[in-house]
Amino acid sequence: MVRPVRFEVSCDDAYDYLIDPANRPAWQSSLRSVADVEGPDGVVGQTWTDVTVVGMRPRMELTDADRPHRWSERGTWRGFRAQLTLTFTPVGAGCDVGIALHLAGSGLARPFGLVGNRVAPAAVRSDLKRAAAILARG
């Protein structure tokens, strides 16, 4: 289990910032940009393409959106699949953002999916700490 990340803003503010694909390159270290956004922000079914610094271009989809409590997304790229769920729990004037992540690979990508499940949660937590710092600066 990955420890949650404390945000010094409300669940609503953290949720709204994190769910918006346009904000992601500012806080996700692996992203160069986001492209091909289709559908309204924060609505299940919205899709976009993550353009990563290493050249992967996973297609992402918002699969669950219960503002400001939880949202989930899935991404697919070649033989890889990822599912990320963030949960938002009020703590004083701020909130804790919980992380659940699962990566899978098929065929030759399977071993990389297994390794990714070990290292990716720490990377996601680091990215969320960056987002919390951005929001704390206002």
More confident residue, 67 or 1: 67
pLDDT in tens, 58-91: 999 999 999 999 999 999 888 888 999 999 999 9
- Mean pLDDT over 44-61 rounds to 93
pLDDT at 115: 65
Tokens at residue 7, please? 């945000």
Do the beta carbons of residue 42 and residue 20 sit within 8 Å? yes
CB 23 within 8 A of CB 102: no
Give dist(CA 76, CA 59) in Å, integer. 5
Distance CA 59, CA 34 (A): 10
Q: Does domain 2-137 have CATH number 3.40.50.740?
A: no
